Structure 1
Amino acid sequence: MKQDGFRQQQKQHSLFPPILFFTYLGTLLLMSALHTGMIVGMNKAGWNDKVQILLPILYWTLVAVMLTLFTRRQIQKTYEEPMLRLADATRKVAEGDFSVYVPPVHTANKADYLDRMILDFDKMVEELGSIETLKTDFFSDVSHEFKSPLAVISSNAELLQKSGGLSTEQAEAVENIQFATRRLANLIQNMLKLNKLEKQTIRPAPETFDVCAQLCECAVQFEEVWERKNLEFEADLEDSAAVYADPGLLEVVWTNLLSNAVKFTTEGGTVTLRQRTEDGRVLVSVEDTGCGMTPETIRHIYDKFYQGDSSHATQGNGLGLALVKRILELSDGSITVESELGKGSVFTVALPCALQNAPEEHTWIR
């Protein structure tokens, strides 16, 4: 019963109503009448045969062009323009923006099936936005609740280590507890940070600073790790390069990229940090000779909690690159990746320059 009512309403308010059919019919009948009158008039006037042939052809050509343009405009206005708006809104939703709204074409009493589809889409986006808000609030609340018990576990494990008198097996168990606690604390910290960035409760505080100096400071933090793994570290940096961004947030970007490069490069491999200024942008690339990635992994590396290593043999929680992506979006920057399985990866970050005059000299660190 409801379905029949829906079909009846759909017929009453379709994209191409009956009035349009009668408009076409009346126009063609009128044009045919004018054509007949033109033929009769030319015969009575005794016009040349060629003129009597060419003139109707030109006449109907003009009629066909006008009807085609009118039809094109009707299709564009009633179908293409609303569908293009809907397609643009769908793309934004797919990218995670749940604040989009598509206005219906007609009022409620003249709504057609396209209007109902748009209204259903708006309702779906509203529901998805509510679910996303619930999810982020859940992450935030749970993360905060985890911090206190983790602090208790960590402090008690530390007391056990300091007390002494533990057997080798017990000491190893306490060390495992400490290690797991640190990993979970790091996960919670990243979850909170990403949650705040997505909800825009963290507002970037941009300033002009030397990104080359910051890159050197971040690289030095991994000196002990690359020496322990016998990695060769190379850096090709300009003397200075000014960017206008939040230095605290960009430090998270460099730390995550360098950490991943060191983590996924096997012993004896090479990690290379490069920086150059090009076309008003500062380009920073982090290259490694590690395990590389498959095309499927590359498609998902910026997804939250995604890890290309499904065995979880390497440390990580799948939030680092999601954080990097979000920070660069807030900094008007971008990131690209090139990778080949078994040969390594190159992550390249692009940021707008604060100053257009970039130095040409390079400093090498080995």
Structure 2
Amino acid sequence: MSQAQEVETQPVATEYIPPSVSEHLPDLHAGSSYAHYSPLPVNVTPNSPESQGTPVVLGVDEAGRGPVIGPMIYGIAYLPIELQHSLLAETHHFDDSKVLTPLVRAKLMRTLCTSGTNLFENVGWAIKSLSAQDISAGMMRYGGSYNLNAQAMDATIEVIRGVIARGVNVQEIFVDTIGQPAVYQKKLQAIFPTCKVVVEKKADSLFPVVSAASVVAKVTRDVSCEVLYQGVKTGKITAKRDAMEVDGVVEVEDLVIGWGSGYPSDAKCVTWLKGNIDETFGWGSECRFSWGTAKDLLEDKNKAIQIDWADEDKENNKLSQYFGAGMTGIKGEEQELRTWFGSGVKEIF
């Protein structure tokens, strides 16, 4: 297991449920993808017919690209250009979410969402949650795969456009890359020609605004996985919030530990998948059926029912074959189809 995946297995701070999860519990329960946008910060003036709004820098990062369990989250953060380093890096010490502890990430996310804080008043954010069910449906789509890179690109474009549509004057865009940075940057630059677009590897550790987006994405994914795991255990979706503040102690169990990080290389994840497979349906909407790990388990005759589907190329007979000359030599019940709606004309006269 890589160092990044080991970090993913750490127990998650569950005393805070961000609105990117708490306001979308029905979507999580249904296995649906969704987007969430924070309110426009008070210190970010929107565009108007009379003047341009506050110039902002926007960062994009994802969490959960590789796991077989749970959604993939694309996070966005934006704020006035001149505040990127002083507010995010120097004051609040944002960094690549993988090097921050779960408690630190949760604290930063809470501050982002708490009215009256300097983060809330200056930083806006958004997420696009791509459910495991929708990821699998796209990758296994009949007639041509909607691959993960294409889904990720579309999610990135959607949330950037969503922020711009809310009147935000986006001048600079920094993105953690998908594949080759130069190719990805060229595509985004063509879509957002009035913005300066920079796509780089490890952008979450290079640009504070991407670090903030990384935290937004990671906290949203972690809590989403906890909520999904709780739903699997209890049959319903619930969200406990602020347990630490109410009772003085954290009483929320480490829900996500049951299936570990969700990565195929995580022994806890594979053990959970093996122990919770339904012989007919496999798993619920929390699992990415298009991943090799899930496919291998479903093809194991000892764990799942095997179904042989008819070959469409061989079985796609025309309906006319059952009523005309094509019936020659067909006997028994299939022959009865010829007189199902009455006798033929020659039989009457």
Which one has a larger percent helix, Structure 1 or Structure 2? 1
Pick the structure with greater CA Rg: 1
Q: If the length of structure 1 is used for normalisation, what is the TM-score?
A: 0.18
TM-score normalised by structure 2 residue count: 0.19
**Larger RCO of the pair (alpha carbons < 8 Å, separation 6+):** 2
